């Protein structure tokens, strides 16, 4: 590492606002933390304060609270600090990371990840140690601490993480921090991270005799750290953006995408850059904690330069969108940038080859990508995108951590290629904008499903059901037509099913959800209702109406939106109010028609907070719940607890607040069984059903207000059909 190349010199008018740095040292006793601090402070012209818990109490060991107090006082004086503690787990680091919010500091981690044997040897041999950790007892302490080690990640709140795995790495890190003046900064991201060599891992396993769980040894290639050239190039590309912006890392959903249509399809680069920035600006607010990265393999790329400057003018959040120089198929191993989703500039036939990004991605992913793509589609229309889940057997998955490929097709201005628009940029710009919008919407859907899956999962599917593409499905579902939002099984299965076990294992336990094939059924009908006329009762421009195949009452319909990108209630915003009102009106029309046939019925219209099938759908359900398909507590509570959101309330909340409330806590589904009229409790479904057939109590007051119930006879408040 060339220190002069790595340090970024700010402009003169930026120096006065330069942030202090909090460097959190991470390492076992004997890893050299105190030596690191001493050497940095000896040579640096930046004002540093060492915060050491071993000596903070007037030369004696103190507490973490004392360390935080000294740290706060130092940052208030605009001094940078070196946190000299072991900080080996996320919890120990968290309070120090929070200091950045109060003092606008950059927080770095320097990980002294030296061999365990070396740390123990140093600790045993030393004398006069500040914390009195020396001699024979040191080996047991180091051994125990290393077993609990959690390496830091950027999503904890770090701006920069430097991994040091040998003495040379440590000295380079000392040089980098020692060379900083009071106004210099270091580029953000991860530096020096390497996979541990198999022989080294085996050595650690042998040396650390009391290990609770064996270290998994893999045969994956070692990932080289970024070269100085790569660091310099990416620093150049991101000039003008906030230096504190984190690089996307494990646990943060990240889409890497190339410039669509500007290479072989010869689309005007200036026009393309405008469209990229405009669509990025639109979607950064829709992708949750996800991030977008525009990638080009060329140093000095014109498209990157144009996009970077336009994004800076629009002040697009650099923690949500960056540009990057590198090979899109080797971002993790070649640039330290982990992107779990990458976009492919595909051809209309969705075939491998042809050169450029398409050929590179298919080559890197292996035959698995072609097989998975063919299962999804045989061709692609310009302006559209489709998502393909990569099997864990794909090299692009196992080596680069890519779980999804989004194929996207833009407009063509090359007369030697199919569907040339012959320089018609009126159409071309429209198609390119649609392509990026479709790409980002596909990515937003992945982000939403990951967030919901990690936050909430009502129950686990049995092993047999997991084999059916991750959805909870019974064998008889395959033979029946029609659709249900609450499966016939004894579990209310969240549609947030696991994509596959390997995927969740790769992402630290968070579920990487795709809608299973069974859960896609009503989506397929909504998008192509003419192909499923035997399964629908009404087809309109904006909605289709289906009978629920497992009705939970005498009358039970689903009114399904036909809009792309509306998978569930969580996706709804104010722009979707027209279609929500249409769905409500259609549901009311059908309820009225049923009431003409049977005036004793009472209807409720609403949504499940977390549906079990893809595509936003409204339940129109009679309140008798007289159905053989209503079998268990989860079936009942999905319609008779706050988990069920009344349509009128959803429309009102979105109108006033911009989004609906999602009562998706599992406690609502596991509530005791209570009558939907008198609210009396019952021990089981048969007893409850027996009671509701004779219960004549009025419905609860909250349901009798705001037209939540639709009935023929007016209630006492005058809310009637």
The upper half-sphere exposure of residue 560, i.e. CA atoms within 13 Å in the direction of its Cβ, equals 34
Token pair 């191993």 is found at 333
Contact 395, 365 (CB under 8 A): yes
Compute the distance between CA of residue 383 and CA of residue 260 in angstroms, rounded to an integer: 10
Q: Find, among 461, 526, 525, the residue nearest to 499 by Cα.
A: 461
**Residue 491: CB atoms within 10 Å:** 18
Cα distances (angstroms) measured from residue 635 to each of 372, 522, 607, 668, 678: 34, 19, 14, 11, 19
Indicate if 617 belongs to the active site.
yes
Compute the distance between CA of residue 377 and CA of residue 511 in angstroms, rounded to an integer: 25
Helix/strand/coil for 111: strand
Backbone angles phi, psi at 130, to 5 degrees: -60, -40
Compute the distance between CA of residue 191 and CA of residue 205 in angstroms, rounded to an integer: 26
Compute the distance between CA of residue 448 and CA of residue 454 in angstroms, rounded to an integer: 10
Helix/strand/coil for 466: helix
Q: Find, among 518, 423, 532, the residue nearest to 473 by Cα.
A: 518
Beta bridge partners of 26: 111
Beta bridge partners of 709: 604
CA 539 to mean position of chain CA atoms: 35
Q: Find, among 108, 93, 223, 243, the residue nearest to 165 by Cα.
A: 223
Alpha helices in 563-684 (DSSP H): 577-597, 633-637, 647-657, 666-669
Compute the distance between CA of residue 290 and CA of residue 299 in angstroms, rounded to an integer: 26
Token pair 């989703």 is found at 341
Spot the catalytic one: 617, 635, 682, 691: 617
**Residues listed for the chain:** 721
Compute the distance between CA of residue 248 and CA of residue 257 in angstroms, rounded to an integer: 13
Compute the distance between CA of residue 599 and CA of residue 144 in angstroms, rounded to an integer: 72
- Quote the tokens at residue 651: 């429309």
Cα distances (angstroms) measured from residue 530 to each of 231, 496, 560, 678: 54, 28, 14, 44
Q: Which pairs with CB-CB distance under 8 Å and at least 24 residues apart come from 299-305?
A: 299/233, 299/325, 301/237, 301/325, 302/269, 303/259, 303/262, 303/269, 303/272, 303/273, 303/276, 304/237
Which residues, at least 6 apart from 671, have a Cβ–Cβ distance to it below 8 Å?
633, 637, 641
- Quote the tokens at residue 69: 């107090």
Q: Find, among 619, 640, 634, the residue nearest to 692 by Cα.
A: 640
Compute the distance between CA of residue 574 and CA of residue 584 in angstroms, rounded to an integer: 15
Contact 390, 403 (CB under 8 A): yes
Helix/strand/coil for 368: helix
- Quote the tokens at residue 91: 């919890």
Compute the distance between CA of residue 47 and CA of residue 174 in angstroms, rounded to an integer: 15
Compute the distance between CA of residue 301 and CA of residue 273 in angstroms, rounded to an integer: 12
Which residues, at least 6 apart from 500, have a Cβ–Cβ distance to it below 8 Å?
391, 392, 470, 512
**Residue 610: CB atoms within 10 Å:** 25
Q: What angle do CA 381, 403, 357 make, to 5 degrees?
A: 50
Helix/strand/coil for 340: coil
Catalytic residues: 617
């Amino acid at each position: 590492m060339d220190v002069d190349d790595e340090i970024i010199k700010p402009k003169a008018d930026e120096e006065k606002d330069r942030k202090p740095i909090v460097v959190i040292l991470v390492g076992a006793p004997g890893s050299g933390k105190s030596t690191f601090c001493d050497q940095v402070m000896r040579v640096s012209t930046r004002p540093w304060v060492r915060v050491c818990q071993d000596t903070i109490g007037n030369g004696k060991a103190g507490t973490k609270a004392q360390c935080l107090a000294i740290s706060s006082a130092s940052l208030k004086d605009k001094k940078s600090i070196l946190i000299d503690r072991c900080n080996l787990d996320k919890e120990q680091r968290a309070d120090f990371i929070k200091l950045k919010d109060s003092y606008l500091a950059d927080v770095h981690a320097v990980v002294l990840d030296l061999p365990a044997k070396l740390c123990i040897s140093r600790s045993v041999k030393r004398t006069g140690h500040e914390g009195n950790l020396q001699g024979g007892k040191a080996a047991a302490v180091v051994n125990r601490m290393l077993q609990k080690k959690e390496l830091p990640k950027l999503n904890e709140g770090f701006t920069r993480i430097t991994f040091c795995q040998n003495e040379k790495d440590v000295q380079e890190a000392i040089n980098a921090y020692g060379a900083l003046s009071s106004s210099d900064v270091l580029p953000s991201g991860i530096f020096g991270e390497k996979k541990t060599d198999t022989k080294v891992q085996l050595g650690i396993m042998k040396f650390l005799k009391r290990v609770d769980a064996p270290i998994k040894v893999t045969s994956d290639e070692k990932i080289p750290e970024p070269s100085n050239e790569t660091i310099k190039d990416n620093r150049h590309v991101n000039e003008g953006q906030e230096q504190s912006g984190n690089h996307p890392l494990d646990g943060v959903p990240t889409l890497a995408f190339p410039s669509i249509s500007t290479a072989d399809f010869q689309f005007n680069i200036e026009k393309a850059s405008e469209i990229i920035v405009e669509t990025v600006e639109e979607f950064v607010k829709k992708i949750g904690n996800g991030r977008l990265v525009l990638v080009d393999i060329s140093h000095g790329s014109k498209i990157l330069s144009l996009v970077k400057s336009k994004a800076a003018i629009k002040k697009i959040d650099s923690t949500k969108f960056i540009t990057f120089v590198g090979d899109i198929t080797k971002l993790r191993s070649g640039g330290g940038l982990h992107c779990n989703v990458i976009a492919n500039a595909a051809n209309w036939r969705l075939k491998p080859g042809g050169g450029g990004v398409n050929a590179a991605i298919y080559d890197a992913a292996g035959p698995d990508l072609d097989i998975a793509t063919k299962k999804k589609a045989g061709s692609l229309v310009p302006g559209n995108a489709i998502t393909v889940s990569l099997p864990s057997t794909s090299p692009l998955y196992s080596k680069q951590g890519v779980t999804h490929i989004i194929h996207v097709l833009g407009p063509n201005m090359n007369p030697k290629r199919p569907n040339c628009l012959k320089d018609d940029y009126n159409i071309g710009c429209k198609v390119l904008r649609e392509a990026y919008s479709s790409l980002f919407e596909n990515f937003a859907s992945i982000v939403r499903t990951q967030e919901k899956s990690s936050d909430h999962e009502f129950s686990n599917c049995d092993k047999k059901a997991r084999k059916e593409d991750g959805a909870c499905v019974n064998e008889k579902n395959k033979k029946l037509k029609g659709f249900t939002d609450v499966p016939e099984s004894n579990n209310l299965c969240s549609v947030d099913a696991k994509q596959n076990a390997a995927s969740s294992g790769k992402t630290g336990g968070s579920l990487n959800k795709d809608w299973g094939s069974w859960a896609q059924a009503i989506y397929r009908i909504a998008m192509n209702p003419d192909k499923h006329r035997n399964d629908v009762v009404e087809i309109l421009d904006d909605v289709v109406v289906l009978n629920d195949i497992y009705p939970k009452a005498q009358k039970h319909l689903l009114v399904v939106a036909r809009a792309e990108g509306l998978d569930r209630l969580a996706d709804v915003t104010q722009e979707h109010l027209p279609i929500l009102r249409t769905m409500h009106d259609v549901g009311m029309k059908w309820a009225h028609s049923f009431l003409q046939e049977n005036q004793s019925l009472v209807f409720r219209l609403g949504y499940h907070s977390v549906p079990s099938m893809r595509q936003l759908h409204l339940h129109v359900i009679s309140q008798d719940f007289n159905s053989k398909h209503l079998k268990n507590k989860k079936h009942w509570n999905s319609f008779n607890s706050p988990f069920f959101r009344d349509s009128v309330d959803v429309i009102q909340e979105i109108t006033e607040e911009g989004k609906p409330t999602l009562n998706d806590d599992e406690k609502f589904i596991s509530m005791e069984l209570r009558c939907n009229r008198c609210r009396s409790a019952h021990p089981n479904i048969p007893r409850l059903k027996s009671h509701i057939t004779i219960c004549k109590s009025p419905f609860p007051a909250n349901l009798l207000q705001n037209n939540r119930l639709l009935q023929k006879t007016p209630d006492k408040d005058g809310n009637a059909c």
